[in-house]
A and B are shown apart, each in its own frame.
Chain A
């Protein structure tokens, strides 16, 4: 389990959702940049050009990188969550250490039929490990799988 080859990718709709969230931020930035641009005499583009570059990075490039960096696996009765573009974190929670499981849907996630799966452990570090960007039915299926494993362990 060293490499990232056996990881499952998140739902592609998650990428779209991240773009949408970034676009909302970008819209604010664009408005602010436009105001600043109009305040400066002469249409120099001194604010617009960097602002547009930031917007392109945040809306197009970053969601792609983040999506590519994320992955999960449920092999060997362990939940493994890999994430992070700059700081890569690779977390493994054995099913036997899961205290309880949440499946959450925010308003945007509902619109995209996505869900966030969160498992809680008794540890102070990684007290909760969340995995966003799952198709809702997948998240529910994963919850059932983890729950079944817990019940089997506890007899």
Chain B
């Protein structure tokens, strides 16, 4: 094949996809407009006038889409990828291979039906400024991705399209989730927010429901059925009614959680490829993303209040690149620690070893927090006892109690540690999270002390991390200074550019 390709158009079917999408976008507002405008009478007569206009608008849009499709071309050049587009005004953008950090493929539902992918060239410029080609055939997308990778690696331009697709069978995935796992995950993703919203809506819009959700008598009747046995149970029947209302709400909560999780995580698969960790997931919108290992800045192992009891954890990768907005890439959304460990090893990080010297925050830090809460809430409680008529004093008292328990819990469970390579910070209350940061990959170190902290001798250590936060609160100030000196020493030995290009250097050497 010739080294420089002639300009190419995107897949012809992408025009069809665009047209269908556009029709949907047009038809919905038009339908609404039709209902509102032709609200009263003579419906059929007026619509006869409107139809030609609507058809004309649709045809015009289809024609524009077609012309735009003919004018959008991309060229895979020697040193860059160039995209030229525009009907009236022409735009040409060129992206050199060296600046392309990665190529990601995304399939939304409709393009997926046509076997098309959206190819995004990530340059690190962030978000919208990245170059995207909508849509190419799956094979072409894959080919472009391989091509960019090979060019970036500086190999001789071995043309990828002599090898039609990735022929060799894939190795076993690093991590994968089957249907059962996704279902279990969905159960834990019980959506309290949805339940609250629906519960609230049910009260607001109960006239829309065929029955009254909170109508205990109604439940009674419905449950009573032919036997009428419930009616005789009296107060117990009311309890059953409330239970049924709650049960139906929680059913919605579980269903939402399962559906949402299944849509996002279906057929989850994480592979180790030459360039990084490759993640594929999604039921309707299937995403395919590569997280370059050398750009991993830190790791986060998270869990939930309930799922911790079952040993379920998630692993997130804090990276320089952005994952459609979010900087944290989920590498393992839902797995046991022994499944997470091999993935952690692949990223070049390590889980804290058994003999890690964990340290707690200072006792006084937590104590001062409780005292501060008491200063505000104790007078409020006392005032409420005297002023308010009923048991309203329970509210400030309850908040105070929660603050005490919270701080006691955090004092018992939050801990931090440092070793020769990494920094660990375990923190959290409902959903404990373990952050693992590399000493070398930090950007700045700040010691922050408030007025109380200065008098009581503790400080917060705030570490600058690309794409995330890493902070330790309530450290003795001497320890914070010690850590800072050590971390700055580690940072000083490597320049930023060596960090980012670490893998390239390693390959060149």
CB distance from B248 to the nearest CB of A (A): 42
The contact string, 1 if C-beta is below 8 Å from chain B, for chain A 63-79, is 00000000000001110
Beyond A78-B488, A94-B492, whether A125 also contacts B448 by CB under 8 A is no
Stretch from A12-20, A116-124, A137-145 contacting the other chain: A116-124
Within 8 A of A (CB), among B470-509: 470-471, 481, 484-485, 488, 491-492, 494-497
Within 8 A of A (CB), among B428-462: 442-451, 454, 462
| B213 interface contact, C-beta 8 A | no
CB distance from A77 to the nearest CB of B (A): 7
Listed residue (B320, B442, B470) with the most chain A CB atoms within 10 angstroms of its CB: B442
| B296 interface contact, C-beta 8 A | no
What residues of B have a CB within 8 angstroms of the CB of A129 in the complex?
444
Contact, CB under 8 Å: B462 / A125? yes
Distance A123 CA – B462 CA, assembled complex (angstroms): 11
Contact, CB under 8 Å: A122 / B491? no
Contact, CB under 8 Å: A96 / B495? yes
Within 8 A of B (CB), among A69-117: 76-78, 86-94, 96-99
Contact, CB under 8 Å: A91 / B492? no
Distance A122 CA – B454 CA, assembled complex (angstroms): 29
Beyond A121-B443, A123-B464, A124-B465, whether A87 also contacts B488 by CB under 8 A is no
Contact, CB under 8 Å: A91 / B446? yes
Number of A-B contacts (CB under 8 A): 96
CB distance from B222 to the nearest CB of A (A): 53
Contact, CB under 8 Å: B496 / A91? no
CB distance from A151 to the nearest CB of B (A): 10
Contact, CB under 8 Å: B443 / A97? yes
What residues of B have a CB within 8 angstroms of the CB of A153 in the complex?
495, 497
Beyond A123-B465, A126-B462, A126-B464, whether A88 also contacts B446 by CB under 8 A is no
Contact, CB under 8 Å: A124 / B464? yes
What residues of A have a CB within 8 angstroms of the CB of B377 in the complex?
none
Beyond A87-B451, A94-B488, A97-B491, whether A122 also contacts B446 by CB under 8 A is no
8 contacts between A and B (CB under 8 A): A87-B449, A88-B449, A90-B446, A92-B444, A93-B443, A97-B443, A125-B470, A125-B471
- Which A residues contact B (CB, under 8 angstroms)? 1-2, 76-78, 86-94, 96-99, 121-127, 129, 150, 153-154
